[in-house]
A and B are shown apart, each in its own frame.
Chain A
Amino acid sequence: MKSTRTQLLAPAVLAVAALTLVTGCSESNSGSSGPVSITVAGMPNNQQPELLNNFNRNISDFTKANPEVKVVGDEAVFDVRTFQALLAGGKLPTVFYVPFTEMQGLIARKQIADITSAIGADSMVSRINPSVMKVVKDSSDHVYGVPIQAYSMGLLYNRDLFKKAGLDPDKPPTTWDEVRADAKVIQSATGVQGFGSMTKDNTGGWVLTTMSYANGGTIESADGKNATVDNDATRKVLEFYRSLRWEDNTFGSNFLIGYNDAMKAFAGGKIGMFVQGADAYTTLVSNMGMKPDDFGLAPLPQAAQGLGALGGGTVAIINPRASAAEVKAAIKWLEFVNLRKYGSEPEAVADAKAKVADKQPLGAPALPLFDQATTDRYLGWVKDYINVPRQNYAGYFATAQTLALVPEPPTKAQETYGALDAVVQAVLTRRDADIDALLKDAQRKVQAIIAAS
């Protein structure tokens, strides 16, 4: 019997092994004054030969201008599940790209390099739009990254469905009441659900947050010390959801939808309108086969007291293990490869040519990284290569300069979004959901999340 017992306990213990987490060994780079070697993410794969050529040409041009720096390309891309392993195993490239939403957590955990002192006053970086730069700074104005692309959340709509429903695709709704009315028209004319929203993997809370901003409320106080979930703007958004779901029945029937589910449904013409980042164009058109002319984008409708829209984008960060010399070389490189095109016509044209040759969109909806004059000058240089129907997003571009970019909740944004997912799911799956009680409960949970940080 004794041996039977150990045999039985062995699988139990081994099963537990599956739960425990492995940490890799770490290595540290020592600072050196001689030649510097950096690894840089962003290398395109073989599927994009022209972009890869352009990337390699950039490396050789950069090395010619900076002979003391050796640059090695790396195809690694950000994934929340592998980032920690890359860092722990010492495999994180010197220059790496992460989404806006990750910055706050990375800064809080001190997992990226503080590059404040490495950015010169004459650098292109110091000319980046200040409201975009806010994303890469901590509360004491230290800089932890360089934004290379930015967008704001907007109202995405299917222009083809608008046409089929007899709506004017060039006149998207500008208020939430109009969104509701148009959703009804789309639903009754085409049978396709008029409105939709992501609801799981923290995306439900993400969208609820940006819609609360548009209605004049926040989720956390500006200093990140207090939860402010239980507010009238958020209540209004949830009431809006409730009306579309239970009164109009224009919200579909599945409310466990993540980012990819919603994108696929929208690309396939199964959702009329939804709130999403304006950068979705590239994924929808290049990867999911949506027709460029079907993609509609309007600025996020703002209530009278609306605060603006949540922003998103890509940030270049630097490995926290990099030596001072490596940080310096890395910043030089990331400016060279990402920002130079905004100041040099030949660079802008070469980059545009490669993108178009590899069937990547050029001129896709985005927020200007710099002031409008710099952006207009760049667009003038590449105007012959633009392959995106930008006239369709005139409304979005028109407000891009004036609509305020509101930052994410300052403390534990992802966990906060997770707590809000449950609220959104409750309103959409239960007809009798008590919005006041849900907000009170979420307020308590978010406060607990802040307290535990």
Chain B
Amino acid sequence: MHEAVPSRRSRGLISWVRRGGLSTLVFFLPVLLSFGLFSWWPILRSLPLSVQRTNFLTTDWVGLDNFTRVLADPLLLTATLNTLWFALLALVFGFPVPVILAVFIAELRRTRGLASALVYLPVIFPPVVAVLLWKAFFDPSPTGVLNTILGWAGLGPLSWLNDGDLAMISIVLQATWASFGTATIIYLATLMGVQTELYDAAETDGAIALRRFWHVTLPQMRGVLLVMMLLQLIGTFQVFTEPYIMTNGGPEDRTVTILMLIYRYAFVSGDYGRATALSLLLAIALSGLSWIYLWATKRWSTS
């Protein structure tokens, strides 16, 4: 019995190597190291940090105190509502744009390559440069770029980021502009894979373009659409760069987002316990959202 165990084990190891286990491990190692070191380990480290108070010299366990202080922050509700508002606006305005563009570009024959390149162009801008560029466009004076354009049509001038009601919409405008290129390219690739015989069949049946899109194109894009929507939702709940650079939360906290609160806790107040507590709450909320989303769309996406 005692001798049988190691021999069985070594036999298991040999067959594991024979079945390609070693090469699997070698290929898996870079992923393991890079994500482990830069993602998973920090995530694990943040768990204790959220129930501690530390100044990086001495550390005290404070139980749920950090969570209590996060929930007591009057700005938390403001930031949550602002973030939801941003996510909703981005979904309503930002999500359909690349789908429509991709369908149009797919119809092109000779200029499809050029059109894809042009659509992708905004993505080439480094994010901070693009945000600063738009910040200048949003100049509230009558001589600002967007106000000049509005002036040609006899409209405006608008205060853009300086107007509490308009600030978040302006930010969504910029964010949509900056990100629609990538989504369009992905949808375009999906459309190229749409089975053309279905179009032929639809045409034989005399279906008009809009119905063709609705009954043939959309169902075939469904899987990709669902994934893209989930990724967008997760992305928009983490919006930071755009409002941070353009408004830093103003005017009157109308564009403060959850991530901006986390940033302020950590880097302005030096309160890492509170920052990780809110990060964890957001992570839990996003995981929950993803789970519900996948559960709700499971049937539809596999049909």
Contact = CB atoms under 8 A, between A and B. Distances in A.
Interface string B53-67: 011111000000000
A312 B54 CA distance: 28
Interface stretch (B2-10, B109-117, B270-278): B270-278
Given A16-B43, A253-B162, A320-B57, A21 B251 contact: no
B286 A429 contact: no
A18 B238 contact: yes
Interface of B: 35, 38-40, 42-43, 45-46, 49, 54-58, 69, 72-74, 139-141, 159, 161-164, 227, 230-231, 234-235, 238, 246-253, 259, 262, 264, 266-270, 272, 275-276, 279-280, 282-283, 286-287, 290-291, 294, 298, 302
B288 to A, nearest CB: 10
A199 interface: yes
A304 interface: no
A320 B294 CA distance: 50
Interface stretch (A59-67, A104-112, A149-157): A104-112
Contact of A87 (B42, B56, B235): B56
A19 to B, nearest CB: 4
Contact of A21 (B266, B283, B286, B287): B266
Nearest to B73: A452
Contacts of A201: 248
B139 A254 contact: yes
Given A105-B270, A200-B250, A258-B248, 4 more contacts: A19-B282, A255-B251, A256-B246, A426-B252
Closest 7 CB pairs of A and B: A17-B39, A16-B283, A20-B46, A88-B56, A425-B251, A12-B290, A19-B279
A1 B294 CA distance: 10
Contact of A84 (B253, B266, B290): B266
Contact of A445 (B74, B159, B162, B164): B74
Interface stretch (A69-77, A331-339, A398-406, A414-422): A414-422
Interface stretch (A3-11, A127-135, A212-220, A272-280): A3-11
A20 B57 contact: no
20 contacts: A1-B302, A12-B286, A16-B283, A20-B276, A21-B42, A21-B275, A21-B276, A21-B279, A84-B266, A109-B270, A200-B249, A253-B159, A254-B139, A255-B250, A258-B248, A412-B269, A422-B251, A426-B252, A445-B74, A448-B72
A321 B46 contact: no
Contacts of A15: 234-235, 238, 286
A21 B49 contact: yes
**Which of A19, A110, A422 is the most central at the interface, judged by chain B CB atoms within 10 Å of its CB?**
A19
Contact of A26 (B56, B227, B282): B56
Contacts of A111: 55-57, 270
B56 A429 contact: no
A20 B272 contact: no
Query: Is chain B's binding surface mostly helix, strand, loop or mixed?
Result: helix
Contacts of A20: 42-43, 45-46, 276, 279-280, 283
A21 B45 CA distance: 8
A80 B269 CA distance: 9
B134 to A, nearest CB: 13
A256 B46 CA distance: 33
A109 B272 contact: no
A253 B141 contact: yes
**Which of B280, B282, B294 is the most central at the interface, judged by chain A CB atoms within 10 Å of its CB?**
B294
A22 interface: yes
Contact of A16 (B57, B69, B286): B286
A447 B303 CA distance: 56
Contacts of B58: 110
Contact of B251 (A1, A16, A110, A429): A429
Given A12-B290, A22-B42, A452-B73, A426 B141 contact: no
Contacts of A430: 164, 252
B283 A84 contact: no
Given A16-B283, A23-B56, A5 B294 contact: yes
Contacts of B250: 199-200, 255-256, 421-422, 425
A415 B178 CA distance: 32
A349 B162 CA distance: 50
A22 B45 contact: yes
A99 B268 CA distance: 14
Contacts of A110: 55, 57-58
